[in-house]
A and B are shown apart, each in its own frame.
Chain A
Amino acid sequence: KEKHKILHQLLQNSTSPVDL
């Protein structure tokens, strides 16, 4: 899960934008 942290975040958060 740690290996794909940002992808996990993108999949789970529909509104809060990940800092791209």
Chain B
Amino acid sequence: PEAADLRALARHLYEAYLKYFPLTKAKARAILSGKTGDNVPFVIHDMKSLMEGEQFINCKQIPVPEHHQQQHIKLLYAVELRFFQSCQSRSAEAVREVTEFAKSIPGFVDLDLNDQVTLLKYGVIEVLIIMMSPLMNKDGTLISYGQIFMTREFLKSLRKPFCQMMEPKFEFSVKFNTLELDDSDMALFLAVIILSGDRPGLLNVKPIEQLQETVLHSLELQLKLNHPDSLQLFAKLLQKMTDLRQIVTDHVHLIQLLKKTEIDMCLHPLLQEIMKDLY
């Protein structure tokens, strides 16, 4: 009966994952391997294709500040910053999706509300980075719900510090993807990350640890059944959580640097809330 409960939990979290996350790994891998027929993504590989591709990205027009009015500067400046703003909008939307997923974890909404906030604040960027992995390969990443493929080289060619933002995520993702998790494994792993009892400022750690332990058991069983030949997969996956924390710390420091150096950059209020006093 205990194993049956753990399987039911895995099914429940997989269903919630499918409900709240529009682009699954299965769909992303199909797009990346060209198995979607005529439905191929638009490729952004330079500034020209970025401008052409903007119609696919839900870009909000942002005003160009006075001191960038000179025509050619204005054009490049606006494109780069507009792209960054659209990334922020998508990230904020993704935070909302992750929040809904978190609420579907059995017992999560019964936790102290302040602890729910803390778990999301510290967990959500880690979750978003894990969710980015299936969209990436060594050459680039899908964006805009799989409608666009943006090359890694193009991202590396952006001006500093924009060019430094994605490279660590590519390095992590290429390694993470070798574990070959599927969407049902991912759902459990994301729940484990969210239910981390060691986040700073938690008021009542015990119920969080109890919830996480159950999900961990469910994940361990899931991996044994779903990947019988992959030795130590559970242990390898748990080790990834340490790498993730470093990536998030570096990411937040980069955003803080951007805030200082890019005088015209405005950070989305939700992302600002999450990153304020994070690390």
Give the total number of A-B pairs whose CB atoms are below 8 A apart. Answer: 42
A6–B95 CA distance with the chains assembled, in angstroms: 11
Determine the main DSSP class of A at the interface with B. helix
Q: Which residues of A contact B24 (CB under 8 A)?
A: none
Whether A10 touches B95, Cβ cut-off 8 Å, given contacts A4-B117, A4-B121, A20-B270, is yes
Residue of B nearest to A1 (CB): B114
Q: List residues of chain B with CB within 8 A of the CB of A4.
A: 117, 121, 273
A13–chain B nearest beta-carbon distance, Å: 10
Q: Which residue of B lies closest to A10 (CB)?
A: B99
Bound Cα distance A10, B49 (Å): 36
In the assembled complex, how far is the CB of residue A20 from the closest CB belonging to chain B, in whole angstroms? 5
A contact residues around B274 at 8 Å (CB): 7
A7 near B276: Cβ-Cβ < 8 Å: no
- In the assembly, what is the distance between CA of A7 and CA of B123, in Å? 13
Q: A3-B273, A7-B273 are in contact. Are A20 and B117 (CB under 8 A)?
A: no
Q: What is the interface size of chain B, counting residues whose CB is below 8 A from a CB of the partner?
A: 21
In the complex the two chains form, is B276's CB within 8 Å of A3's CB? yes
Q: Which residues of A contact B100 (CB under 8 A)?
A: 14
Given known contacts A4-B117, A20-B89, is B270 in contact with A11 (CB within 8 Å)?
no
Could you say which residues of chain A place their CB within 8 Å of the CB of B89? 20
Asked if A11 and B273 make an inter-chain contact with CB atoms under 8 angstroms apart, the answer reads no
- The answer to whether B103 and A7 have CB atoms under 8 Å apart is no
A5 touches B117 (CB 8 A): no
Most buried by B among A7, A12, A17: A7
